[in-house]
Structure 1
């Protein structure tokens, strides 16, 4: 296989993709169906001065008040940022007025194909290359925020204002900080984190040491991004484009649904000769009851109806 490649799965309730290089996951992405995607161009009406309501009923915040357009007027909108889940409420999708022809934005498969990196589509009856590469470990990172690296660990905490990384570890602080910078850069890419990002490094002394930490970020985090220097308290801020929710934001928005989709992925891969009885937690069972289409799809794919125990 080429040095780097995408693995793609059309899963039950979600599409999944990972960028693999040297047997490790460089980027992990999940896309949920029915979401308003970046690049979508749709008819709408201006319902507030910076709010457009699409003909489908979805609302999009506009980047600026359209000049010369009165409330209630028909307009065409292009989505430039998808809705971002947050505790208690969600940031609406953002868009801008356009003269383009209405069209649906590219889905996950189209986006990874457009990178030019080879894509391999996985089937449930094939070896689980996604899991072999560390899929479950990446999901655990996203859900619980604990990311280990040589000599230390990161704690990743998404907040409405920014995603925060806290560094902990042993050994010389300058070595720990540089290793942490590399780990942060890799985690940002792996989890698709955008927007404002704060990193609390150990309080290293000396301008040269702080510059070395910043240089490690520059060397391992792909553009575009902007950053501050590491200040005297060890804090750096990074700002990246944020076209859609990060993996932690997406999964933490509905833990029961994320766990249910993960369980269905495992059940789908159980051999036809194996027992068909499965134990589900209460929240996962309730979520599956709320999504009968997921169970129908599981039955269609496997050819048998599973038996669940609480």
Structure 2
């Protein structure tokens, strides 16, 4: 039976839906992120040129885009909004959080957390702890993060190359199999990647070209069977292209990492450091940009959890993804 493994890490909460020992869906929620379902008071900030939308500022300073607001929403106006999409990062323009105007009698409050959302769908949720077995890693968490960083997903007989554009995410299927079986395997792998990487919005899947209608239908059927989230799609056309639409309430894992690579690696290193066995000072060696993304409150949280001092060691010879964490007895002996 599938279950959600949830880890309340330093700076973010991670979750993976695991079935038969592998991750089929994954979620990451950064601490302090503006959540879907949040109801807050907003103040008109500006009209967005070229569209029926306004920019509004919440009381905490966060900016949201409000589509098709009522006429009374104009300069100087204050009104109540509900967040319907979180901010989408990782592209040249990015997308601000989206909200809709609601009645002033609606109760103000923060939207449900990742843990609360998962618990509400009826699937078993198992909390994980750093001092216990690393079940996320056993299920393939590091491999999943590598897919999210690179956009490269391998499967038997082929590879997916996932590219993000301003208008859609494109998944290109390539491999050594004959076109018809490669299309089926690639469609199945693409569906799996959509679930694991939390891809959403408009998604184009470029399968091998085949003039056999039955082969194209077999690829579409394989895609449908492997999808674990609600979606709509087109048929596979004669050029092997299929488009899928998936609800997109928040950024994909690829967008989350691309939006701030240094922060993403910093939080990953906190995760590794938390699991280093005592005794000794925790030393985190990383590229300068990664070390600079560390926050004092996160260092303090790591120190409290690990029961040891934390020291960052910037290393200009390292690339952004080459950090490491280890214990050294030097400072604990002084």
Task: Establish whether residue 282 from structure 1 lines up as the match of residue 288 from structure 2.
Answer: yes
Is the 2:69–2:100 Cα contact (8 Å) retained in structure 1? no
Equivalent position of 1:177 in the other structure: 183
Look up the match of 2:166. Answer: 160
Separation in 2 of the partners of 1:102 and 1:121? 29
Equivalences for residues 13-24 of structure 1 within 5 A: 13-24=11-22
Q: Post-superposition shift, 1:90?
A: 2.3
- For the Cα contact (< 8 Å) 1:177–1:201, is it kept in 2? yes
Q: Distance in 2 between matches of 1:79 and 1:237?
A: 27
Matched, 1:200 2:178: no
SS at match of 2:64: strand
Contact conserved, 2:26 with 2:196, CA < 8 A, in 1?
Answer: yes
Partner of 1:59: 63
Paired with 1:75 and 1:284, the residues of 2 have a C-alpha distance of: 39
Separation of aligned partners in 1, 2:281 and 2:79: 56
- The one-character-per-residue Cα deviations of 1:249-268 (angstroms, maximum 9, x if unpaired) are 00111111111111111111
The residue that corresponds to 2:233 in the other structure is 227
Root-mean-square deviation (Å): 1.6
Secondary structure of the 2:129 match is coil
**1:46 aligned onto 2:68:** no
Q: Give unpaired runs (5+ residues) of structure 1.
A: none
| CA displacement at 1:112 relative to structure 2 | 0.9
Could you tell me which residue of structure 1 aligns to residue 268 of structure 2?
262
Match of 1:116 in 2: 122
Number of the residue aligned with 2:102: 98
* Distance across 2 between alignment mates of 1:280 and 1:62: 40
Compute the displacement of 1:308 (Å).
4.2
> Normalising by structure 2, what TM-score?
0.87
Q: Secondary structure at the residue paired with 1:62?
A: strand
Paired residues of 1:86 and 1:160 also in contact (CA < 8 A): no
Q: Show the counterpart of 2:89.
A: 85
Distance 2:185 2:98 in 1: 36
Deviations 1:282-305 (A, max 9, x none): 3322222xx122111111111111
Report the CA distance between 1:278 and its aligned residue.
Answer: 4.2
Q: Does 1:242 align with 2:248?
A: yes
Could you tell me which runs of 5 or more consecutive residues in structure 2 were left unpaired when the two chains were aligned. Answer: 48-52, 316-334
Check 1:73–1:43 CA distance in 2 against 1; reply closer, same or farther (3 A cut).
same
- Could you say which residue in structure 2 is the equivalent of 1:140? 146
Residue 292 (str. 1) matches residue 296 (str. 2): yes
Deviations 1:181-225, CA, capped at 9 Å, x for gaps = 111111101111110101111111222211211122222224532
1:68 Cα offset (Å): 4.1
CA distance in 2 between partners of 1:271 and 1:69 (Å) = 56
Following superposition, the deviation at residue 16 of structure 1 comes to 0.6
Q: Distance in 1 between matches of 2:281 and 2:309?
A: 12
TM-score for the superposition, normalised by structure 1: 0.94
